[in-house]
Amino acid sequence: MQITRRTVLKVTGLTATIVALLPRVAFAARNSLRTVRTGIQPGNKTRLVIETSERPSYSLSYPANQLVVTLSNTSANTALAPSMAAGTLVRAITQAQTGDKLQIIADLSSPINEIPRDGIMLLNPNGDNGYRLVLDFVAGSGKSTAKSATVASTATTQTPKKTTPSRKYTIVIDAGHGGKDPGCIGKGGTQEKTVVLSVAKKLKTKLDAVGFQTYLTRSNDTYLKLAQRASIGEKKHADLFLSLHANANPSRAMQGFSIYTLSEKASDEEAQKLADAENAADKIDVSGFEQFDKDIRIALSALQQHAVAAMSVEYANGCASQFKRAKITQQPGPDVRHAPFAVLRSTVPGALIELGHLSNAAEEKLLKSSAHQDKLVAAIVKSVQSYNFDV
Protein backbone atom coordinates (compact mmCIF):
# COMPACT_ATOMS: atom_id res chain seq x y z
CA MET A 1 0.00 0.00 0.00
CA GLN A 2 1.27 3.45 -0.84
CA ILE A 3 1.01 6.26 1.66
CA THR A 4 0.20 9.82 0.70
CA ARG A 5 1.73 12.47 2.86
CA ARG A 6 3.19 15.90 2.93
CA THR A 7 6.89 15.96 2.24
CA VAL A 8 9.52 18.61 2.19
CA LEU A 9 11.79 18.62 -0.79
CA LYS A 10 15.15 20.08 0.03
CA VAL A 11 17.36 20.92 -2.91
CA THR A 12 20.47 23.05 -2.46
CA GLY A 13 18.95 25.25 0.18
CA LEU A 14 15.57 25.77 -1.48
CA THR A 15 12.69 24.34 0.45
CA ALA A 16 9.36 23.64 -1.18
CA THR A 17 6.40 21.93 0.38
CA ILE A 18 4.75 19.45 -1.94
CA VAL A 19 2.35 16.58 -1.76
CA ALA A 20 3.97 13.43 -3.02
CA LEU A 21 3.59 9.72 -3.21
CA LEU A 22 6.43 8.01 -1.47
CA PRO A 23 7.91 5.13 -3.43
CA ARG A 24 7.66 1.72 -1.88
CA VAL A 25 10.73 0.62 -0.01
CA ALA A 26 12.47 -1.62 -2.51
CA PHE A 27 14.87 -3.36 -0.14
CA ALA A 28 14.57 -5.43 3.00
CA ALA A 29 16.28 -3.39 5.71
CA ARG A 30 17.65 -5.25 8.67
CA ASN A 31 17.12 -2.29 10.99
CA SER A 32 14.28 0.20 11.37
CA LEU A 33 13.88 3.59 12.98
CA ARG A 34 11.54 3.66 15.95
CA THR A 35 11.66 7.15 17.42
CA VAL A 36 13.70 10.31 17.64
CA ARG A 37 13.65 12.63 20.61
CA THR A 38 15.52 15.62 21.95
CA GLY A 39 16.19 16.85 25.44
CA ILE A 40 18.26 19.26 27.49
CA GLN A 41 21.07 18.02 29.69
CA PRO A 42 23.00 19.80 32.48
CA GLY A 43 25.48 22.30 31.02
CA ASN A 44 22.88 23.33 28.44
CA LYS A 45 23.74 20.33 26.27
CA THR A 46 21.33 19.27 23.59
CA ARG A 47 20.63 15.54 23.62
CA LEU A 48 19.45 13.79 20.48
CA VAL A 49 18.26 10.21 20.93
CA ILE A 50 17.68 7.93 17.95
CA GLU A 51 15.96 4.68 18.82
CA THR A 52 16.15 1.70 16.46
CA SER A 53 14.93 -1.88 16.51
CA GLU A 54 18.42 -3.34 16.03
CA ARG A 55 21.92 -2.24 16.98
CA PRO A 56 22.58 0.67 14.60
CA SER A 57 25.59 1.09 12.36
CA TYR A 58 25.97 4.84 11.95
CA SER A 59 28.11 7.72 10.80
CA LEU A 60 27.89 11.41 11.64
CA SER A 61 28.41 14.42 9.43
CA TYR A 62 28.18 18.13 10.07
CA PRO A 63 26.94 20.19 7.11
CA ALA A 64 26.33 23.89 7.82
CA ASN A 65 23.91 24.24 10.76
CA GLN A 66 22.98 20.57 10.54
CA LEU A 67 23.83 17.30 12.22
CA VAL A 68 23.28 14.33 9.91
CA VAL A 69 23.18 10.82 11.30
CA THR A 70 23.42 8.18 8.57
CA LEU A 71 22.17 4.73 9.54
CA SER A 72 23.10 1.92 7.20
CA ASN A 73 20.64 -0.83 6.26
CA THR A 74 17.79 0.96 8.02
CA SER A 75 14.25 1.80 6.95
CA ALA A 76 12.49 5.07 7.79
CA ASN A 77 9.61 5.32 10.24
CA THR A 78 6.78 6.71 8.12
CA ALA A 79 4.73 7.46 11.24
CA LEU A 80 7.56 9.19 13.09
CA ALA A 81 6.60 12.10 15.36
CA PRO A 82 9.79 13.22 17.09
CA SER A 83 9.49 14.31 20.69
CA MET A 84 11.07 17.76 20.74
CA ALA A 85 12.01 19.39 24.04
CA ALA A 86 12.05 23.16 24.34
CA GLY A 87 15.34 25.06 24.42
CA THR A 88 17.55 22.65 22.45
CA LEU A 89 19.69 23.46 19.42
CA VAL A 90 17.47 21.24 17.25
CA ARG A 91 14.84 23.15 15.28
CA ALA A 92 13.53 20.38 13.07
CA ILE A 93 14.15 16.74 12.32
CA THR A 94 13.62 15.11 8.95
CA GLN A 95 14.28 11.65 7.58
CA ALA A 96 15.73 10.94 4.16
CA GLN A 97 15.86 7.47 2.67
CA THR A 98 18.40 6.81 -0.06
CA GLY A 99 18.50 3.14 -0.98
CA ASP A 100 19.13 1.22 2.22
CA LYS A 101 20.63 4.27 3.94
CA LEU A 102 18.50 6.34 6.26
CA GLN A 103 19.61 9.85 7.10
CA ILE A 104 18.27 11.66 10.12
CA ILE A 105 18.79 15.34 9.57
CA ALA A 106 18.68 17.67 12.54
CA ASP A 107 18.41 21.34 11.56
CA LEU A 108 20.26 23.32 14.22
CA SER A 109 19.86 26.88 15.41
CA SER A 110 23.66 27.22 15.42
CA PRO A 111 26.62 25.21 14.14
CA ILE A 112 28.27 22.57 16.32
CA ASN A 113 31.74 21.04 16.43
CA GLU A 114 32.38 17.37 15.82
CA ILE A 115 30.83 15.48 18.75
CA PRO A 116 33.60 14.02 20.93
CA ARG A 117 33.69 10.35 21.94
CA ASP A 118 32.27 11.06 25.40
CA GLY A 119 29.28 12.79 23.81
CA ILE A 120 28.18 9.59 22.07
CA MET A 121 26.50 6.64 23.76
CA LEU A 122 25.01 3.48 22.32
CA LEU A 123 22.56 1.88 24.75
CA ASN A 124 21.17 -1.62 24.68
CA PRO A 125 17.40 -2.20 24.90
CA ASN A 126 15.85 -1.86 28.34
CA GLY A 127 12.19 -1.85 29.30
CA ASP A 128 10.17 -0.64 26.33
CA ASN A 129 13.20 1.06 24.79
CA GLY A 130 15.06 -0.39 21.83
CA TYR A 131 18.68 0.37 20.90
CA ARG A 132 19.42 4.02 21.45
CA LEU A 133 22.09 6.15 19.88
CA VAL A 134 22.50 9.13 22.22
CA LEU A 135 24.30 12.27 21.03
CA ASP A 136 25.08 15.18 23.35
CA PHE A 137 26.34 18.46 21.94
CA VAL A 138 26.60 22.19 22.53
CA ALA A 139 26.80 25.18 20.20
CA GLY A 140 30.26 25.54 18.66
CA SER A 141 32.09 27.33 15.87
CA GLY A 142 31.41 24.53 13.41
CA LYS A 143 34.54 25.75 11.58
CA SER A 144 36.79 22.82 12.35
CA THR A 145 34.44 20.30 10.87
CA ALA A 146 31.90 22.10 8.71
CA LYS A 147 31.49 20.39 5.38
CA SER A 148 29.78 21.80 2.38
CA ALA A 149 27.61 18.75 1.90
CA THR A 150 24.01 19.43 1.12
CA VAL A 151 21.35 16.86 1.60
CA ALA A 152 19.14 16.59 -1.45
CA SER A 153 16.33 14.15 -1.09
CA THR A 154 12.75 13.84 -0.10
CA ALA A 155 11.99 13.85 3.58
CA THR A 156 8.91 13.82 5.73
CA THR A 157 7.85 16.73 7.89
CA GLN A 158 7.51 16.07 11.57
CA THR A 159 5.14 17.54 14.09
CA PRO A 160 6.82 18.03 17.47
CA LYS A 161 5.01 16.49 20.41
CA LYS A 162 5.44 16.92 24.14
CA THR A 163 7.88 14.80 26.09
CA THR A 164 6.11 12.45 28.47
CA PRO A 165 7.67 9.57 30.40
CA SER A 166 7.22 6.41 28.36
CA ARG A 167 6.88 4.10 31.37
CA LYS A 168 7.33 3.72 35.12
CA TYR A 169 11.03 3.84 36.03
CA THR A 170 12.56 1.30 38.36
CA ILE A 171 14.95 2.27 41.15
CA VAL A 172 16.81 -0.26 43.29
CA ILE A 173 17.79 1.17 46.67
CA ASP A 174 20.66 -0.58 48.40
CA ALA A 175 21.10 -0.04 52.13
CA GLY A 176 24.79 -0.82 52.66
CA HIS A 177 26.07 -3.49 55.04
CA GLY A 178 23.67 -5.37 57.38
CA GLY A 179 23.65 -8.44 59.61
CA LYS A 180 27.13 -9.37 60.79
CA ASP A 181 28.55 -6.38 58.93
CA PRO A 182 27.66 -3.20 60.84
CA GLY A 183 29.60 -0.88 58.51
CA CYS A 184 31.25 1.98 60.34
CA ILE A 185 30.28 2.85 63.90
CA GLY A 186 30.10 6.33 65.42
CA LYS A 187 31.58 7.32 68.78
CA GLY A 188 28.05 7.35 70.17
CA GLY A 189 27.55 3.78 68.98
CA THR A 190 25.45 4.55 65.88
CA GLN A 191 25.89 1.81 63.28
CA GLU A 192 26.04 2.58 59.57
CA LYS A 193 23.83 -0.41 58.69
CA THR A 194 21.00 0.98 60.86
CA VAL A 195 21.15 4.56 59.59
CA VAL A 196 21.25 3.58 55.93
CA LEU A 197 18.39 1.07 56.28
CA SER A 198 16.23 3.77 57.86
CA VAL A 199 17.06 6.22 55.04
CA ALA A 200 16.51 3.51 52.39
CA LYS A 201 13.01 2.72 53.70
CA LYS A 202 12.04 6.40 53.83
CA LEU A 203 13.41 6.85 50.32
CA LYS A 204 11.39 3.91 49.01
CA THR A 205 8.17 5.36 50.47
CA LYS A 206 8.80 8.79 48.95
CA LEU A 207 9.85 7.50 45.51
CA ASP A 208 6.84 5.16 45.38
CA ALA A 209 4.61 8.13 46.23
CA VAL A 210 5.88 10.14 43.24
CA GLY A 211 5.40 7.31 40.77
CA PHE A 212 8.58 5.24 40.69
CA GLN A 213 8.77 1.47 40.99
CA THR A 214 11.27 0.76 43.77
CA TYR A 215 12.92 -2.25 45.35
CA LEU A 216 15.16 -2.53 48.40
CA THR A 217 18.13 -4.91 48.28
CA ARG A 218 17.44 -5.55 51.98
CA SER A 219 14.49 -4.47 54.11
CA ASN A 220 15.83 -5.79 57.40
CA ASP A 221 19.09 -6.41 59.24
CA THR A 222 20.54 -9.06 56.92
CA TYR A 223 23.91 -9.51 55.27
CA LEU A 224 24.12 -9.55 51.47
CA LYS A 225 27.16 -10.01 49.27
CA LEU A 226 28.03 -7.02 47.13
CA ALA A 227 27.62 -8.94 43.86
CA GLN A 228 24.19 -10.09 45.01
CA ARG A 229 23.14 -6.51 45.66
CA ALA A 230 24.28 -5.59 42.14
CA SER A 231 22.44 -8.60 40.72
CA ILE A 232 19.15 -7.39 42.22
CA GLY A 233 19.53 -4.28 40.06
CA GLU A 234 20.01 -6.52 37.01
CA LYS A 235 17.11 -8.84 37.82
CA LYS A 236 14.69 -5.97 38.39
CA HIS A 237 15.86 -4.33 35.14
CA ALA A 238 16.49 -1.22 37.19
CA ASP A 239 16.97 2.16 35.56
CA LEU A 240 18.98 3.41 38.50
CA PHE A 241 20.83 1.76 41.39
CA LEU A 242 21.48 3.77 44.55
CA SER A 243 23.75 2.39 47.26
CA LEU A 244 23.45 4.26 50.56
CA HIS A 245 26.31 4.45 53.05
CA ALA A 246 27.73 6.58 55.84
CA ASN A 247 31.40 7.34 56.18
CA ALA A 248 34.15 7.23 58.78
CA ASN A 249 37.37 9.20 58.69
CA PRO A 250 40.48 9.05 60.91
CA SER A 251 39.99 12.78 61.37
CA ARG A 252 37.00 13.29 63.66
CA ALA A 253 36.65 16.81 62.26
CA MET A 254 35.90 15.53 58.75
CA GLN A 255 32.26 15.82 57.77
CA GLY A 256 29.91 16.01 54.79
CA PHE A 257 28.37 13.87 52.08
CA SER A 258 30.24 12.51 49.06
CA ILE A 259 29.04 10.76 45.89
CA TYR A 260 30.84 8.07 43.90
CA THR A 261 30.43 6.26 40.60
CA LEU A 262 32.14 3.13 39.34
CA SER A 263 35.49 3.30 37.65
CA GLU A 264 38.25 0.70 37.51
CA LYS A 265 40.70 3.41 38.48
CA ALA A 266 40.04 5.56 41.54
CA SER A 267 39.88 9.31 40.99
CA ASP A 268 42.04 9.89 44.08
CA GLU A 269 43.70 8.00 46.93
CA GLU A 270 40.87 8.73 49.34
CA ALA A 271 38.29 7.32 46.92
CA GLN A 272 40.40 4.16 46.55
CA LYS A 273 40.61 3.77 50.35
CA LEU A 274 36.87 4.15 50.62
CA ALA A 275 36.26 1.56 47.89
CA ASP A 276 38.64 -0.83 49.68
CA ALA A 277 36.72 -0.32 52.93
CA GLU A 278 33.30 -0.79 51.31
CA ASN A 279 34.48 -3.78 49.26
CA ALA A 280 35.87 -5.39 52.43
CA ALA A 281 32.27 -6.16 53.42
CA ASP A 282 32.51 -9.24 51.19
CA LYS A 283 35.41 -10.64 53.22
CA ILE A 284 33.11 -11.21 56.17
CA ASP A 285 32.36 -14.92 56.22
CA VAL A 286 28.74 -15.82 56.71
CA SER A 287 28.01 -19.53 56.56
CA GLY A 288 25.01 -20.92 54.73
CA PHE A 289 24.66 -17.91 52.52
CA GLU A 290 23.23 -18.74 49.11
CA GLN A 291 25.48 -18.71 46.09
CA PHE A 292 25.56 -15.60 43.96
CA ASP A 293 23.39 -16.11 40.90
CA LYS A 294 25.79 -17.12 38.12
CA ASP A 295 23.21 -16.38 35.44
CA ILE A 296 23.72 -12.70 35.89
CA ARG A 297 26.24 -11.81 33.26
CA ILE A 298 28.11 -8.68 34.05
CA ALA A 299 30.35 -8.92 31.04
CA LEU A 300 29.94 -5.55 29.40
CA SER A 301 31.19 -4.37 26.06
CA ALA A 302 33.42 -1.31 26.15
CA LEU A 303 30.68 0.79 24.61
CA GLN A 304 28.14 -0.39 27.19
CA GLN A 305 30.58 0.35 30.01
CA HIS A 306 31.09 3.79 28.57
CA ALA A 307 27.33 4.40 28.38
CA VAL A 308 26.65 3.15 31.91
CA ALA A 309 29.53 5.25 33.27
CA ALA A 310 28.35 8.37 31.44
CA MET A 311 24.77 7.99 32.71
CA SER A 312 26.00 7.30 36.25
CA VAL A 313 28.15 10.43 36.28
CA GLU A 314 25.22 12.43 34.92
CA TYR A 315 23.02 11.19 37.75
CA ALA A 316 25.73 11.70 40.39
CA ASN A 317 26.35 15.30 39.32
CA GLY A 318 22.63 16.04 39.56
CA CYS A 319 22.52 14.36 42.96
CA ALA A 320 25.44 16.44 44.26
CA SER A 321 23.76 19.64 43.14
CA GLN A 322 20.48 18.68 44.89
CA PHE A 323 22.39 17.98 48.14
CA LYS A 324 24.11 21.35 47.89
CA ARG A 325 20.81 23.07 47.09
CA ALA A 326 19.36 21.49 50.25
CA LYS A 327 22.35 22.96 52.17
CA ILE A 328 23.61 19.55 53.25
CA THR A 329 27.28 19.78 54.24
CA GLN A 330 29.61 18.50 51.52
CA GLN A 331 32.91 16.77 52.17
CA PRO A 332 35.71 18.92 50.68
CA GLY A 333 36.68 17.76 47.20
CA PRO A 334 35.05 17.26 43.83
CA ASP A 335 31.26 16.81 43.48
CA VAL A 336 31.64 13.29 42.09
CA ARG A 337 34.51 10.87 42.60
CA HIS A 338 35.16 7.49 41.04
CA ALA A 339 36.44 4.22 42.44
CA PRO A 340 36.11 0.45 41.85
CA PHE A 341 33.10 -0.26 44.08
CA ALA A 342 32.02 -3.89 43.68
CA VAL A 343 28.39 -3.06 44.42
CA LEU A 344 28.20 -0.75 41.38
CA ARG A 345 29.57 -3.34 38.95
CA SER A 346 26.55 -3.95 36.69
CA THR A 347 24.77 -2.77 33.57
CA VAL A 348 22.60 -0.45 35.67
CA PRO A 349 23.66 3.19 35.96
CA GLY A 350 24.01 4.19 39.57
CA ALA A 351 25.91 5.83 42.37
CA LEU A 352 27.14 5.17 45.88
CA ILE A 353 26.13 7.96 48.22
CA GLU A 354 28.01 8.49 51.48
CA LEU A 355 25.36 10.42 53.39
CA GLY A 356 27.74 11.87 55.96
CA HIS A 357 30.39 10.99 58.56
CA LEU A 358 29.50 8.86 61.57
CA SER A 359 33.03 9.54 62.83
CA ASN A 360 32.08 13.18 63.35
CA ALA A 361 30.09 13.68 66.57
CA ALA A 362 27.81 16.42 65.21
CA GLU A 363 27.09 14.54 62.02
CA GLU A 364 26.48 11.26 63.89
CA LYS A 365 23.71 13.06 65.77
CA LEU A 366 22.27 14.43 62.54
CA LEU A 367 22.37 11.06 60.74
CA LYS A 368 20.40 9.49 63.60
CA SER A 369 17.73 12.20 63.56
CA SER A 370 14.55 11.58 61.61
CA ALA A 371 14.40 15.22 60.47
CA HIS A 372 17.86 15.08 58.89
CA GLN A 373 17.12 11.71 57.30
CA ASP A 374 14.00 13.28 55.74
CA LYS A 375 16.15 16.11 54.39
CA LEU A 376 18.57 13.62 52.81
CA VAL A 377 15.66 11.66 51.34
CA ALA A 378 14.05 14.81 49.89
CA ALA A 379 17.32 15.72 48.13
CA ILE A 380 17.70 12.21 46.70
CA VAL A 381 14.06 12.19 45.50
CA LYS A 382 14.70 15.49 43.67
CA SER A 383 17.87 14.09 42.11
CA VAL A 384 15.94 11.07 40.82
CA GLN A 385 13.10 13.24 39.50
CA SER A 386 15.50 15.53 37.66
CA TYR A 387 17.52 12.69 36.13
CA ASN A 388 16.74 12.13 32.47
CA PHE A 389 15.71 8.47 32.28
CA ASP A 390 14.18 8.68 28.86
CA VAL A 391 17.18 8.34 26.60
* Binding interface with Zn ion (CB under 5 A): 176, 183, 245, 278
Q: Identify which of residues 133 and 195 has a Cβ nearer to Zn ion in the complex.
A: 195
CB of 199 to Zn ion, least distance (A): 12
3-state helix, strand, coil in the chain (%, to 5): 25, 30, 45
Q: Identify which of residues 178 and 183 has a Cβ nearer to Zn ion in the complex.
A: 183
CB of 70 to Zn ion, least distance (A): 47
Q: Identify which of residues 229 and 245 has a Cβ nearer to Zn ion in the complex.
A: 245
Residue 335 DSSP class = S
Residues paired with residue 244 on neighbouring β-strands, in sequence order: 175, 353
Give the C-alpha separation, 307 to 26, whole Å. 35
The sign of the CA dihedral 110, 111, 115, 120 is positive
Q: Identify which of residues 112 and 366 has a Cβ nearer to Zn ion in the complex.
A: 366
Residue 252 DSSP class = T
> How many other CB atoms sit within 10 Å of the CB of residue 227?
16
CB of 277 to Zn ion, least distance (A): 7
Q: Residue 343: name the closest of 291, 281, 268 by CA.
A: 281
Residue nearest to Zn ion (CB): 245
Give the C-alpha separation, 140 to 138, whole Å. 6
Contacts of 129 (CB under 8 A, 6+ apart): 51, 123, 166
Q: Identify which of residues 176 and 356 has a Cβ nearer to Zn ion in the complex.
A: 176
CB of 343 to Zn ion, least distance (A): 9
Q: Identify which of residues 176 and 350 has a Cβ nearer to Zn ion in the complex.
A: 176
Q: Residue 272: name the closest of 186, 177, 354, 337 by CA.
A: 337
